């Protein structure tokens, strides 16, 4: 659903850019509360994984394909604020390096694909986990439903943006019907990927799933006919937890590299939902050439590499590498800011103030 340059007029794109910038500023502050020493590295990996899976277009209807948007997956695994940043990092890398999604439309894409999907999916997810049984399976089910709804929500958001600033004269009703219809189908694919990924992580490290925090139930034992709280489970040793975390991170990175470098060759070549609707309804009549069209990686291929399989695979591997570095850097800086906020000096100052009764 990457919106190219020329679909939306300049004033509307500028407003969307302001909205996106404001949301990113809020997300940077919010992510400081979500990230800790365990989850910050996972957030960088999350961005790389989303980049990789977005290369895997899957068929959804005759002549149409879809791909992961990633907002629901990121929000549930690493938190809604961090999730907005994850998807935004991916969109920035795709726009600059791979000429995927217009640069003047970057604000539109961030608003649509990062903000709307994350906000809608996490709101649905939190609502469901409050009413479902407090079990791990409920997290997976809630993830599926949240992801299903996030994709047509993004389609609605694009339709509204197009209604305000579309550069072609197409009946908005036709655009809405076509966009929502195809993206409901794409949402099912999004939901399957999201639920499988969340389920896999929660099976091995439930403590790293942001959306599952606080859902653990205290075990009960029956003693003399009465139910009593079971003794607290001993915490996992720090060294063992670090090894488990490192194993998960390496496994995730290798999986991302394999998906982008090898599996992506077998992805559907059909246009995605927005491309298909834009072509069929005439929305793309004023589409502009991408500013990064001459990039060595434009179109997800390496320039001057004639073998298409090798070219696409190398581009995918490079994309994963660049995204994990960019994402990890962003989240490391955010994490450092949080550490500075609770530095020993500030803690001592707070303690001194409390002791003097001021």
- Judge whether residue 127 has pLDDT over 90: yes
Least confident of 83-97, 156-170, 208-222, 265-279: 208-222
Average pLDDT over residues 349-357: 43
- Candidates 181, 184, 159; CA nearest to 172 is 159
Q: Which domain holds residue 167?
A: 10-229+240-351
Task: Confirm whether 79 is domain-assigned.
Answer: yes
In a domain, 4, yes or no: no
In a domain? residue 198: yes
111-120 pLDDT tens trace: 999 999 999 9
Number of domain units in the chain = 1
- Min mean pLDDT across 168-177, 232-241, 281-290 is at 232-241
User: Would residue 356 count as lying in a domain?
Assistant: no
One DSSP character per residue, 302-318 reads: -TT---HHHHHHHHHHH
Residue 214: per-residue pLDDT: 72
Q: pLDDT value at position 301?
A: 95
Percentage of the chain exceeding pLDDT 90: 76
Question: Which spans in 282-358 are helix H?
Answer: 308-341, 344-356
Asked if residue 245 is part of any domain, the answer here is yes
Q: What pLDDT, on a 0 to 100 scale, did the predictor assign at position 339? A: 64
Please give the mean pLDDT across all residues of the chain: 89
pLDDT digit string, tens, across residues 244-281:
778 889 999 999 999 999 999 999 999 999 999 999 99
Residue with more model confidence, 272 or 355: 272
Assess if residue 186 is contained within a domain.
yes
What CATH number does the domain containing 84 carry? 1.10.1760.20
Q: What pLDDT digit, counting tens, does each position of 204-253 carry?
A: 888 889 998 876 554 445 566 665 554 544 555 556 666 777 888 999 99
Q: What is the pTM of this model?
A: 0.88
Q: SS3 letters for 174-211?
A: HHHHHHHHHHHHHHHHHHHHHHHHHHHHHHHCHHHCHH
pLDDT of residue 37: 80
Instruction: Specify the pLDDT at position 135.
Output: 86
Most confident of 43-52, 221-230, 330-339: 43-52
| Cα dihedral 77, 79, 81, 83 in deg (nearest 10) | 10
For 306-321, give one letter per residue: b (16+ CB within 10 A) or e.
Answer: eeeeebbbbbbbbbbb
d(C-alpha 312, C-alpha 300), whole Å:
6
- Cα 274 from Cα 154, distance rounded (Å): 11
For residues 134-142, give the mean pLDDT: 91
Q: Residue 59 falls within a domain, yes or no?
A: yes
For the chain, the C-alpha Rg in angstroms (whole number) is 22
Does residue 235 sit within a domain?
no
Between 10-19, 52-61, 204-213, the lowest mean confidence (pLDDT) is in: 204-213
């Amino acid at each position: 659903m990457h919106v190219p340059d020329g679909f939306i007029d300049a004033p509307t794109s500028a407003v969307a850019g302001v909205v996106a910038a404001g949301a990113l500023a809020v997300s940077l502050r919010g992510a400081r509360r979500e990230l800790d020493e365990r989850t910050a590295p996972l957030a960088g990996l999350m961005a790389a994984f989303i980049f990789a899976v977005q290369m895997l277009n899957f068929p959804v209807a005759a002549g149409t394909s879809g791909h992961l948007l990633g907002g629901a997956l990121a929000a549930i695994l690493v938190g809604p604020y961090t999730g907005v940043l994850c998807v935004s990092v991916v969109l920035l890398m795709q726009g600059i390096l791979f000429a995927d999604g217009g640069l003047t439309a970057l604000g539109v894409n961030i608003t649509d694909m990062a903000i709307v999907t994350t906000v809608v999916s996490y709101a649905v997810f939190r609502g469901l986990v409050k009413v479902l049984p407090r079990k791990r399976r409920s997290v997976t089910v809630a993830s599926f439903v949240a992801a299903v709804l996030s994709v047509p929500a993004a389609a609605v958001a694009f339709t509204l943006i197009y209604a305000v600033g579309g550069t072609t004269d197409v009946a908005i009703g036709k655009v809405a019907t076509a966009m929502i219809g195809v993206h409901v189908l794409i949402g099912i694919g999004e939901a399957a990927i999201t639920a499988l990924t969340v389920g896999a992580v929660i099976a091995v490290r439930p403590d790293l799933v942001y959306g599952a925090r606080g859902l653990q139930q205290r075990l009960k034992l029956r003693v003399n006919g009465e139910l009593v709280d079971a003794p607290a489970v001993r915490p996992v040793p720090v060294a063992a937890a670090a090894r488990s975390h490192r194993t998960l991170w390496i496994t995730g990175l290798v999986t991302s590299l394999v998906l982008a470098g090898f599996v992506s060759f077998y992805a559907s070549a059909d246009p995605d939902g927005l491309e298909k609707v834009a072509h069929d309804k005439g929305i793309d009549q004023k589409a502009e050439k991408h500013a990064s069209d001459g990039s060595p990686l434009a179109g997800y291929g390496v320039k001057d590499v004639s073998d298409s399989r090798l070219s696409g695979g190398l581009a995918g591997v490079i994309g994963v590498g660049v995204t994990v570095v960019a994402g990890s850097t962003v989240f490391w800086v955010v994490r450092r800011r949080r550490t500075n906020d609770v530095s020993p000096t500030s803690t001592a100052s707070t303690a001194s103030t409390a002791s003097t009764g001021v």
